[in-house]
């Protein structure tokens, strides 16, 4: 089955700096890669996703890049703000049941 690894597990940045979170996946058949943000005690919420026919996608301060050859994808957050502080999860999917396999999460802390 699919295996998704996520790094780093914790990331501390100064407000206004950029943050990058990286994930690798094992199943070359995976074709859908969402990113979720989870605030403490809340539900995971989708912030951006990318499909395998696209190499990069951007939404305001958030961007995701995908390298299918190397089987890795990354989340980039620019101009970080304190409200960006949360746990971020990457995931991968490429099966008939559209099941997601999640990475272990990255706790992002943005210091004012």
Partner 1 sequence: NAGVTQTPKFRVLKTGQSMTLLCAQDMNHEYMYWYRQDPGMGLRLIHYSVGEGTTAKGEVPDGYNVSRLKKQNFLLGLESAAPSQTSVYFCASSYPTGPFSNQPQHFGDGTRLSIL
Q: Which residues, numbered 40-69, are part of the site for partner 1 (CB under 8 A)?
A: 42-46, 49, 51
98 lies in the site for partner 1, by CB under 8 A = yes
CA distance 56 to 67: 9
35 lies in the site for partner 1, by CB under 8 A = no
Burial class (CB in 10 A: 0-12, 13-18, 19+), 90: buried
Q: Do residues 100 and 92 make contact, with C-beta atoms less than 8 angstroms apart? A: yes
Smallest separation (angstroms) from partner 1 to the CB of 16: 28
Interface contacts to partner 1, rule CB under 8 A:
1, 6, 31-32, 34, 42-46, 49, 51, 89, 93-105
């Amino acid at each position: 089955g699919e295996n998704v690894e996520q790094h780093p597990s914790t990331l501390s940045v100064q407000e206004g700096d950029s943050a990058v979170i990286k994930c690798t996946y094992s199943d070359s058949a995976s074709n859908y890669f969402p990113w979720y943000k989870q605030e403490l005690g809340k539900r995971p919420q989708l912030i951006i996703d990318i499909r395998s026919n696209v190499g990069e996608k951007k939404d305001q301060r958030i961007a995701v890049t995908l390298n299918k050859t190397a089987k890795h994808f990354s989340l980039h957050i620019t101009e970080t703000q304190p409200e960006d502080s949360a746990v971020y999860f990457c995931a991968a999917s490429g099966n008939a049941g559209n099941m997601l396999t999640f990475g272990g999460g990255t706790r992002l802390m943005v210091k004012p």
